[in-house]
Amino acid sequence: MSEADKAFTGSIPENYNRHMVPLIFQSYAQDMAQRAAALSPRAVLETAAGSGVVTRALAPQLPSDARYVVTDLNQPMLDYAASQQIADNRISWRQADALALPFDDAGFDLVCCQFGAMFFPDRQAGYREARRVLKPGGRFLFSVWDRIEENVFADDVTNALAEIFPQDPPRFMARTPHGYHDIALIRDDLEKAGFSDVAIETRAEQSRAASPRHVAVAYCQGTVLRTEIEARDAGGLEAATDYAASKIASKHGNGAVTAKIQAHVIMAVA
């Protein structure tokens, strides 16, 4: 993963939350919140929180005396997440690198991370840090996307952009969000980091949008694909978005569109 793959800056956080969250993240966030709440944790650390979709789903389900620390490497994303959360004195916000967490050993019952591990430059290091800050027997709950071919709209947009830029296709989606999907590798990385009782569930959902244009804007303007498009054609963002929308429409229709998304949900014990 390049440094550019972590650059959720400018208008990307707002577009990400407005378009990407309802398109692909909301249903998984609700599921993660339910799994997390069922563990009845008193001290929760969330890493790679993004625009705060899990935070908003999980906070109402935690006990009144819970402590919830929400972190992200990217300060603009963290600022946006905090701005969207209702006032809650149980929650603290802190910029933090998941590979070098600024917290004491054995301080949390649960570490959760929705669709962030794919961005870790060294995943075993990130997992070791999660285990370090967990109490003995604490849980690490996280999710990663399955291969891009199992996530239809992401694949559609990636293929459309490859037609526009055949000499240098933007591959952010395939390279990073969908680049860490091998279950055997995930399990091995966790066990090498010291986790046990690793359980992995592959979970399919439906991605729904009001129109093909909504999908195209979500991916082309709400992710790092925007940076890749603009690096290839500084004034070509709208044209690329329009082309991606046209390709989605040709495949899925011009009205409301639906397609498969799929992810792995992982639970491991410290």
Domain of residue 135: give its range.
3-269
CA 209, chain centre distance (Å): 18
In 3D space, the residue among 198, 203, 200, 185 whose CA is nearest the CA of residue 263 turns out to be 203
Residue 258: the pLDDT is: 97
Residue 12: the pLDDT is: 59
Counting DSSP H helices and E strands in the chain, the numbers are 11, 7
- Would you say residue 58 has pLDDT above 90? yes
Number of domains in the chain: 1
Q: How far apart are the first and last CA of the chain?
A: 27
Structure tokens at 56: 């908003």
The residues that bridge with 201 in the sheet, in sequence order, are: 265
Residue count (the chain):
270
Structure confidence at residue 29 as a pLDDT band (50, 70, 90): very high
Q: What is the CATH number of the domain that holds 126?
A: 3.40.50.150
Range of lowest pLDDT (14-23, 80-89, 230-239, 242-251): 14-23
User: What pairing do the DSSP bridges indicate for beta strands 108-114 and 43-46?
Assistant: parallel
- Would you say residue 138 has pLDDT above 70? yes
Residue 11: the pLDDT is: 52
Write the pLDDT tens digit of every residue in 157-186: 999 999 999 999 999 999 999 999 999 999
Residue 223: the pLDDT is: 86
Compute the mean pLDDT over every residue in the chain, rounded to the nearest whole number: 93
Q: Give the mean pLDDT of 84-92.
A: 94
